[in-house]
Amino acid sequence: MEIKSYMTRIGQQAREAASLMAKADTATKNRALLFIAQAIRREVALLRAANLKDLDIAKDNGLEAALLDRLTLSDKAIETMATGLEQIASLDDPIGAISNLKLLPSGIQVGQMRVPLGVIGIIYEARPNVTVDAAGLCIKSGNATILRGGSEAIHCNQVLAGLVREGLAKAGLPEQAVQVVETTDRTAVGELITMTEYVDVIVPRGGKGLIERLMRESKIPMIKHLDGICHIYIDDSADLDKAVEIGFNAKCQRYGTCNTMETLLVSENVAADVLPLLATRYRDEEVELRCDEKAFQILGAYPYLAKASEEDWQTEYLAPILAVRVVSGLDEAIAHINRYSSKHTDAIITEDYSHSLRFLREVDSSSVMINASTRFADGFEYGLGAEIGISNDKLHARGPVGLEGLTSLKYVVFGHGEIRK
């Protein structure tokens, strides 16, 4: 009950702050971002100390090495947070832009104005840098935000929250525009995702378990994706050098990201040529190849070879493992992708003009690529400047979501006294 009233108060304050943020001008929002960056640079020692406290507790609790690594705030990571805010300040303000303004037969002029979403709840895990990135994106897009970070980073997040408040106040913006939930009680998440009156959108940035829970329990629209089962299809007309470079990069540049390739499809006309070339590269990284019958025959001598089962086409490995299938051509590749893809990112390697256009049009994923690594599916790489997450949903934001994805459009009508006849 205490948590409920605590969260309700946070929600009410956020709603009030949101209406002030919606009309804040660009210069004021940018000033707040730069003040926060300054405060972060000034308080490196304080931040490191809070982070050490978090790390000590995490070690006592036996947190695994990978998570400790993500929790650690080095001097460099702190500087990156400050630079990130300066970058957001340098981006164009999406709010207030009017597009599609038309003069209509009745005499009215109708266009669409970009406006903030309102209050955005963000739920994330042990990475303190998300606190600052998310705060920065929400401030610039004129939204208020409620941040619920992982309990492991609570001390560090409290300090960051104080610095954000300081920057907002100094710029003359409401301190409650960015609120960090101060309790580690898990029921606070349950409140956040059901406060339909106070929260307009939820952005869950965390494991599949968190997102599945939210999909069941939340009544608030989400900007989210569940899986990243990304495909590359090497077409019969592919430039094999590009195919090998991209096929290696998409799998091996980083294993744990959602835009990493998990299944490789190869046209039967080029499979015997390109698979052995790729295998030479994968061998150095000890990538296990789980192959269908035809690929298995071609790659017979490969040291980390296995047979694929139906389950492999549906698995996001996030590891040095790749499912490989030989297909008869473009049609079978598109059919496989539209069946098994998580609709995150899929790419074709081809020099055939018609094939490239058919792939673009017919693959139903949030990013579809020609001759490029799936690893490019990212807000920074797409020129959005910053990223709040990646959405697989077809409604609203789809693909990497930056400033614009945190906004909506309303119609605006300029009349001259027109009435409807």
Sequence-ordered list of residues with C-beta below 8 angstroms from that of 199, at least 6 positions apart, any chain: 11, 14, 119, 120, 121, 146, 192, 193, 220
Q: Is 221 in the site for a second copy (CB under 8 A)?
A: yes
Angle (nearest 5°) at CA 302 between 296 and 308 = 35
Query: CA 249 to CA 142: how far, in whole Å?
Result: 37
Tell me whether residue 161 or residue 201 sits nearer to a second copy (CB atom): 201
Query: CA 245 to CA 118: how far, in whole Å?
Result: 43
Tell me whether residue 293 or residue 364 sits nearer to a second copy (CB atom): 364
Residues recorded for the chain: 421
In this structure, the strands spanning 109-116 and 98-103 are antiparallel
CA-wise closest residue to 313 among 283, 292, 285: 292
Segment interacting with a second copy (CB under 8 A) among 46-54, 86-94, 180-188, 355-363:
355-363
Q: Is 253 in the site for a second copy (CB under 8 A)?
A: yes
Q: Is 94 in the site for a second copy (CB under 8 A)?
A: no
Tell me whether residue 307 or residue 361 sits nearer to a second copy (CB atom): 361
Q: Is 269 in the site for a second copy (CB under 8 A)?
A: no
Residues 391, 399 contacting (CB under 8 angstroms): yes
Q: Is 225 in the site for a second copy (CB under 8 A)?
A: no
Binding residue count for a second copy, defined by CB under 8 A: 67
Segment interacting with a second copy (CB under 8 A) among 53-61, 69-77, 316-324, 390-398:
390-398
CB of 358 to a second copy, least distance (A): 8
Write down the residue that tokens 């119609």 correspond to: 411
Query: CA 400 to CA 385: how far, in whole Å?
Result: 11
Residue among 54, 125, 200, 235 that touches a second copy (CB under 8 A): 200
CA-wise closest residue to 366 among 220, 258, 213: 258
Q: Is 241 in the site for a second copy (CB under 8 A)?
A: yes
Segment interacting with a second copy (CB under 8 A) among 56-64, 283-291, 297-305, 378-386:
378-386
Residue among 5, 74, 106, 187 that touches a second copy (CB under 8 A): 106
Segment interacting with a second copy (CB under 8 A) among 124-132, 242-250, 282-290, 316-324:
242-250
Q: Is 213 in the site for a second copy (CB under 8 A)?
A: no
Query: CA 9 to CA 21: how far, in whole Å?
Result: 18
CB of 393 to a second copy, least distance (A): 8
Residue among 369, 386, 388, 403 that touches a second copy (CB under 8 A): 369
Segment interacting with a second copy (CB under 8 A) among 71-79, 99-107, 157-165, 262-270:
99-107
Query: In sequence order, what DSSP letters do the residues of 44-103 get, joined into one string?
Result: HHHHHHHHHHHHHHHHHTT--HHHHHHH---HHHHHHHHHHHHHHHHSPP-TT-EEEEEE
CB of 307 to a second copy, least distance (A): 29
Build a one-symbol-per-residue string for 109-148: x at contacts with a second copy by CB under 8 A, - elsewhere: -x-xx-x-xx------------------------------
CB of 119 to a second copy, least distance (A): 11
Supply 56's token pair: 């000590």
Supply 339's token pair: 């069946």
Contact set for a second copy, span 315-344 (CB under 8 A) = 338
Q: Is 272 in the site for a second copy (CB under 8 A)?
A: no
Supply 307's token pair: 């047979």
What does each C-alpha distance from 7 to 142, 143, 199, 389, 415 come to in angstroms? 21, 18, 11, 24, 43
Q: Is 416 in the site for a second copy (CB under 8 A)?
A: yes
Sequence-ordered list of residues with C-beta below 8 angstroms from that of 247, at least 6 positions apart, any chain: 232, 234, 261, 264, 274, 278, 281, 349
Query: CA 420 to CA 132: how far, in whole Å?
Result: 49
Query: CA 128 to CA 351: how far, in whole Å?
Result: 44
Q: Is 104 in the site for a second copy (CB under 8 A)?
A: yes
Segment interacting with a second copy (CB under 8 A) among 35-43, 107-115, 184-192, 302-310:
107-115
Q: Is 284 in the site for a second copy (CB under 8 A)?
A: no
List the strands of the sheet with 119-124, edge to edge: 178-180, 144-148, 119-124, 201-205
Q: Is 102 in the site for a second copy (CB under 8 A)?
A: yes
Q: Is 19 in the site for a second copy (CB under 8 A)?
A: yes
Per CB under 8 A, residues contacting a second copy are 19, 22-23, 96, 102, 104, 106, 108, 110, 112-113, 115, 117-118, 200-201, 221, 239, 241-242, 245-246, 248-250, 253, 338, 347, 360-362, 364-373, 375-377, 381-383, 393-396, 398-400, 408-420
